[in-house]
Chain A
Amino acid sequence: MPSHDGLPEKNKLIQMYQKMYEIRRFEDKLYQLFLTETMPGTMHQYNGQEAIAVGVCENLRKGDYLLSTHRGHGHYIAKGGSLNKIMAEMFAKRTGCCKGMGGSMHFIDVSVGILGATAIVGSGIPIATGAALSSKLRGTGQVTACFFGDGASNTGAFHEGINLAAVWKLPVIFVCENNFYGFSTPFRKTTLVENIADRASSYGIPGIVVDGNDVLAIYEVAKRAVHRAKKNEGPTLIECKTYRHRGHSRFEPAAYRPKEEVEEWRGKDPISRFKTKLVKMKILSEEEIENIHRKVEAVIDDSVEFAKESSDPEIEDMLRCVFAESEEA
């Protein structure tokens, strides 16, 4: 199917919309569940940032790698992870993606290239460098995408990990989701430079700033970065300016953010924007969009059923997961 003015082809656009909506509704469902049920643990919600996970992951194949964070539910869904498995993980069930042993901040699905999510800010960056090194040594052509926030850009791990990937010309793309707050701390209070992407030049690699609420703009930028990586030209640092609709974690109300600022960004909701665009371009009708919404709601409801019916992990499961038994003596 030919693309419209250099845009991805129709099916891809529809898929992107569906994925973004799925992420949003998954997060909304969790919010509801936390209010009405005894859900263990916490969560760090991705509402408002959906364009980034989807725009990047649409450029990745199943076998490409992804490193995620504590705010990683969106990455997981965008990369093709199973909703049943993460809903079950939220309920700490044995059928969860981590068998109930990881929780919200550590989703993993190696079958779709998700190598894990870390809650230590910045720590995934050197690990992504290592995954990229691995694919280079094995000659597989796999690319690695590493997600992190504005807070990570001030860690030593950011500096060391990106520098090493740059000097070794590794096939990795570094995606910074700048939502302007590290928990409660505004970015401008921690950093003098306005654009994190400008730091790329200190590693000798390209740094690109993009509207983090424009899924098609992100798609294009990520496409070029993945292409550069595949040509063995090295990594790229992409900075997506965005905003989280909710607080830092669970029910944290983010009272430290000015109301006008929150409202301004909510007005730039990536999903509404994309929907408006798709309708205007006649890619989707309102009715088709409602169908997609219904489909997504059903799948999410199914995942809750699945999770509730699943059993808890066993003690033996846990004991087997400290060390791996070597195959050879």
Chain B
Amino acid sequence: MEAKTIQEALNQALREEMTRDKVVFVLGEDIGQFGGAYRVTEGLIEEFGEERVRDTPISETAIVGAAIGAAITGMRPVAEIQFNDFLTCAMDQIVNQAAKMRLMSGGEIKVPLVIRSPVGATGRAAQHSQSLEAWFMHVPGLKVVLPSTPYDAKGLLKTAIRDDNPVMFFEHKLLYGGRSPGGKAKTAVDEMAISMTPAPEEDYTIPFGAADIKREGQDVTVIATLLMVHKAMRAAVKLEKEGISAEIIDPRTLVPLDKETILNSAQKTGRVVIVSEDCKRGGVGSEIAAIISEEAIDYLDAPIKRVATLNIPVPFAPKLEGHIIPNEDKIIEAIREVLS
């Protein structure tokens, strides 16, 4: 059966890879008996057993550290960190160990490790709402992946598991589409239905460093990630009615980054808007904008515009959260601005 939701797609990818290779195993908080906070690991413990589907204590340093130790000795662990905000608890292991062990050892070892973690603001206040991809984009030795559709999620997770390097695999809470305690996931996905390409029930991989043109257009290049891909799609549909043709590019991986697709599009349209849910200051848009400026400035007809979350810790009140996170209106406004 094809996977219509990202939750199903990721679950399928894990199942297929764990069947394909006995050294693949998963660990994390509440992933075994409970099936994962966002249900991504549902059913795995029944199929593969407790040895390969391990519930851990609340010990992010040990979860990541143990995954590293296993990875450098022949295993392929997929560690889940329940909210990407908790990656902060494991930063030494991720940044000083996993990312650097290969270089420090002169290539003696490799670290085939995947760390999966959800990002995004969902009304759970500041410590459960961040999008920290940019931090990991900044650390040499890490790959960074962020799929926005079930099709992308399955293919990219398979590639991540087969990759011999540490991969930070970011998922968006509002894109899972599965049953979630608060019921929010399904609602968001219903709205996004037009762009949620399902994943076929077969073995396929998507290479890293290959952006996906989610929508072709002529007038403006919109580079977007995760949930923002879908908000940008809806904005594009609205703008089409005014005769504005927006091209939407989903990088799918930040490291390695598909510069070619991005630069070709910038050259074609001359106008760029970058939409991401992380904070604007030092966010992923900063790096992408700098690359375009460095390599395609002559093609630009307007300054590059970034649409990102305001530099404020995410507040609880829905009205305030709504004010700081990018939405369709802000995307439309930015597109109009670069076209004016």
Contacts and interface: CB of A to CB of B under 8 A. Distances in A.
Interface string B114-147: 0000000000000000000000000011010000
A62 to B, nearest CB: 14
A127 B97 contact: yes
Contacts of A325: 164
Interface in A283-329: 313, 317-318, 320-329
B65 A137 contact: no
A108 B104 CA distance: 9
Nearest to A167: B57
B106 A102 contact: yes
Contacts of B106: 96-102, 108, 313, 317, 321
Contacts of A116: 72, 101, 104-105, 109
Given A123-B96, A129-B62, A161-B65, 8 more contacts: A116-B109, A127-B65, A130-B69, A137-B25, A161-B66, A164-B62, A321-B105, A329-B207
Contacts of B97: 118, 120, 123, 127
A137 B74 CA distance: 10
A232 interface: no
B317 interface: no
A115 B72 contact: yes
A65 interface: yes
B88 interface: no
B65 A129 contact: yes
Contacts of A132: 69
Nearest to B109: A110
A156 B57 CA distance: 13
B103 interface: yes
Contacts of B19: none
Residue of A106, A313, A317 with most chain B CB atoms under a 10 A cut-off: A106
B44 interface: no
Interface in B235-259: none
A134 B105 contact: no
Contacts of B23: 137-138
Nearest to A142: B73
A106 B97 CA distance: 11
B69 A133 contact: yes
Contacts of B141: 322-323
Interface in A111-153: 115-116, 118, 120, 123, 125-135, 137-138, 144
B66 A98 contact: no
Interface residues of A, number: 53
A324 B102 contact: yes
A131 B70 CA distance: 5
B108 A108 contact: yes
A110 B102 CA distance: 12
Interface of B: 23, 25, 51-52, 54, 56-57, 59-62, 64-75, 77, 92-93, 96-97, 101-110, 112, 140-141, 143, 162-165, 205, 207
A326 B21 CA distance: 15
A130 B72 CA distance: 9
The A interface, classified by DSSP as helix, strand, loop or mixed, is mixed
A126 B61 contact: yes
A157 interface: yes
B163 A326 contact: yes
A160 interface: yes
Interface string A165-192: 0011000000000000000000000000
6 contacts: A101-B104, A101-B106, A115-B69, A127-B97, A164-B62, A327-B164
B159 to A, nearest CB: 9
Residue of A65, A96, A323 with most chain B CB atoms under a 10 A cut-off: A323
Interface string A65-108: 10100000000000000000000000000001111111000101
Contacts of A133: 66, 69-70, 75
A199 to B, nearest CB: 16
Contacts of A131: 69-70, 72-73
B108 A163 contact: no
Contacts of A329: 205, 207
A108 B109 contact: yes
Given A110-B108, A129-B66, A322-B102, A156 B61 contact: yes
A174 to B, nearest CB: 13
Nearest to B62: A160
